[in-house]
Amino acid sequence: MFDLRTLEDLELLRETHELECKLAQGQHGQGEVPKDFWPTYSAMANTRGGTVLLGVREKEGVFSIAGLTNPAKVRMDLFNNLNNPSKVSVNLLTDANVQELTLDGKTILCVNIPQAIRHQKPVFLNGQPLGHTYKRLNDGDRICGDEVVKRMLAEQVEDERDARILSNFDMQDIDIESLHIYRQMLKDEKPGHPYLEQDDATFLASLRGWRRDRATGEQGLTLAGLLMFGRWEAIQEAVPHYFVDYQERPEAKTELRWIDRLVPDGTWTGNLFEFYRRVYRKLVADLKVPFAIKDGQRQDDTPVHVALREALVNTLVHADYTGRVSVLVVKRPDMFGFRNPGYLRLPMEQVIRGGESDCRNRILHQMFLLIGLGERGGSGMPKIYSGWQSRHWRQPLLREKDTPEQTLLELHMLDLLPPTVLAELRSRLGANFDFVTPLERMILSTAMIEGVVNHSRMAEICTEHPHDLSLALAKLEREGLLLSQGQSRGKVYHLPGSTPVSPEQVFTSGISSGGNGASSGGNGASSGGNGASSGGNGASSGGRGDSSGDSDTSVVSEVAIVEIPEAKAVAPERDEHGCLLSPLLDAPIVDSLTELSSALREELKKRAKEPRERPRLAPQVMSEVILSICDGRYVRLSVLAELMSRNPDALRRGYLDAMVKDHRIRRAFPGTPTHEMQSYRKAEDV
């Protein structure tokens, strides 16, 4: 909940994405709840909640107080509509959620909208979920597609998504060897367990891998039983989108190159039990974490091992196997990444805090628990966080992404505040650095490591309230410890003496640093160098150090950082395809179709054919086309719009801004997000 006391507090909120301002003056100036409040209410309730200020004018990210002449009337109008089922499906607000505030002598209403729980979603309007359900994407309200709404409805009524009985499946669809290995693991964990005396069919039924519905009399293999112990061919028939993927990548980069990969390829069963057994061994095979000694005995199960085991189990038991994205586990020298289809079932803050559980696949979870894997009662994520904190590594990054719906967990083996970074900050900022707060030190260190920092990046790294982050960033800028570029939600901060690459530097004449500080092949701040990884997912780290995180490892954000004193003009160059080359960026830029080779120009037109020929296209299709065009190179907004026959501003507002927020693409120039020269490049997943 926002704490508003002064106009300065209001101004600091401009960087928070969970905020909307509505003038709410009404037709006769007496005040009323505006019509566009309701899509925002639905969107915030279906996403992560947020705050709406009624009586506040917002223009280009700048707030001003208009006030409400009759706030009591607006409040009454609000609650009358909230309690009208034909207007909105559920009322999430109480009197405590609607605050009457006085700023600059004028009264406004602060409406704090909580995130709806699973049983309340979808929150929809006008008595009809399809076509009237919204979600919050970036800082806008977007209508949910029918598939998304139907998935919400299924989540609402199905506590156990894996309890479904599969028609015409039987014990022949089970890999008996997997079941026998599981039985042996249960014997090792609980030698006297009564299930051990049962035959295979009864044993599977005891695990709820086979069940009988008392209401209908139907009996058979459950989805949990098939996913856990099934044969690959049978799993494919029951769950067409099911796919599990493990990749070990050789470098701290987000490129799709691997030295080891495990996918269902016919050489093994492809079921979850075998996937867990094979992948966990690979994850911890060369983990450079010192083993503990207890009572003179070596303890192989360190907090980091526990964290990785819990992360892997969590990924498998919380996945929505009807989703259109695969389960993905990635191992890199600098991090471990876990992805599962489907959103979190609880608010993210609750998941991180622990103490409450709402597992999507409860039978699968119980199967893992029975052999000593996984945690009960919502303690899994706290175990992961504490395991990483035991090594003083960066806080795990848990986030959700849209289109397709997925949950990502990134465990970076990078020191939270590397000593070399602290020493460099103390050298550059002098005695002032010794008086900053721990949060301010974190912000400055992130700016040093990643080149630029903004409000949303800090919200990913730390757990402080968005308002506290805004105050800390404003204080550091006011004291001259940070400089800024951009306005409103596009504002980014950097340390004095360095600045993000600007469009003018790249497009006017090109810049050469004269050293390795900005060179794409250097080892300093480069996105493409061997000392960092640009990642594009907002948290990707890089470095030459080993996985212990003890070496001088660096992280790079969306863009390379240019040291101002070393820049000098050089003639622009182009590659063999006609793309503009700049030593300031980690990839070439398509700045003009006429400059391209005919082969590349025709290839890009081919990729953009569908939107160019069809004025209306599904959002997911549009997003996939954008990713295809921007794969491997930056593409200028005007070129992208020309290829797709779309208005540039509408393309940016309707798609690109949200895709940047979701870490699907990244900007070449984050300091000036709306610049006409802005260019975009696809960012790979973890």
Which sequence spans correspond to the domains of the chain?
Answer: 7-157, 241-412, 419-496, 503-682
8-state DSSP, 394: P
Which pLDDT score, from 0 to 100, does residue 528 have? 34
- pLDDT per residue over 74-130, tens digit each? 999 999 999 999 999 999 999 999 999 988 889 999 999 999 999 999 999 999 999
pLDDT at residue 413 greater than cutoff 50:
yes
Out of 68-77, 109-118, 236-245, 498-507, least confident range? 498-507
Rounded CA gap, 668 and 265, in Å? 38
Could you tell me which residue, 583 or 227, shows the higher pLDDT? 227
- pLDDT per residue over 586-598, tens digit each? 889 999 999 999 9
pLDDT at residue 486 greater than cutoff 90:
no
pLDDT at residue 368 greater than cutoff 80:
yes
First CA to last CA distance, the chain? 32
Q: Give the mean pLDDT of 633-660.
A: 91
Out of 214-218, 400-404, 437-441, least confident range? 400-404
| 99: amino acid identity, one letter | Q
Q: Which CB contacts under 8 angstroms, 24+ apart, belong to 182-189?
A: 182/228, 182/229, 182/273, 182/367, 182/371, 185/371, 186/370, 186/371, 189/370, 189/371, 189/372
Coil/strand/helix, residue 275: helix
Rounded CA gap, 320 and 323, in Å? 6
Fold matches, 7-157 and 241-412: no
CA atoms within 13 A on the CB side of 439: 18
Rounded CA gap, 445 and 437, in Å? 12
Out of 205-219, 251-265, 489-503, 504-518, least confident range? 504-518
Task: Report CA-CA distances (Å) from 286 to 274, 331, 547, 650.
Answer: 20, 11, 9, 49
Spell 348-365 as b/e; 16+ CB within 10 A means b. bebbbebeebbbbbbbbb
Rounded CA gap, 166 and 210, in Å? 9
Length of the chain equals 686
Q: How many other C-beta atoms can be found within 10 angstroms of the C-beta atom of residue 47? A: 24
The structure tokens 């029951």 sit at 238
What class is the 241-412 domain? alpha beta
pLDDT at residue 253 greater than cutoff 50:
yes
Percent of the chain topping pLDDT 70:
84
pLDDT at residue 366 greater than cutoff 90:
yes
Share the mean pLDDT of the chain: 83
Task: Report CA-CA distances (Å) from 339 to 151, 317, 358, 521, 686.
Answer: 18, 12, 18, 31, 8
Which pLDDT score, from 0 to 100, does residue 511 have? 37
C-alpha closest to that of 532 among 543, 520, 516, 524 = 543
Contacts of 637 (CB under 8 A, 6+ apart): 648, 651, 652, 656, 676, 677, 678, 679, 680
> Which of 2.40.340.10, 1.10.10.10, 1.10.3720.10, 3.40.640.10 would CATH assign to domain 419-496?
1.10.10.10
Spell 102-125 as b/e; 16+ CB within 10 A means b. ebeeebbbbbbbbbbbbebbbbbb
Rounded CA gap, 340 and 405, in Å? 9
What class is the 7-157 domain? alpha beta
Phi and psi based region of residue 181 (left: phi greater than 0; alpha: psi -120 to 50; beta: remaining)? alpha
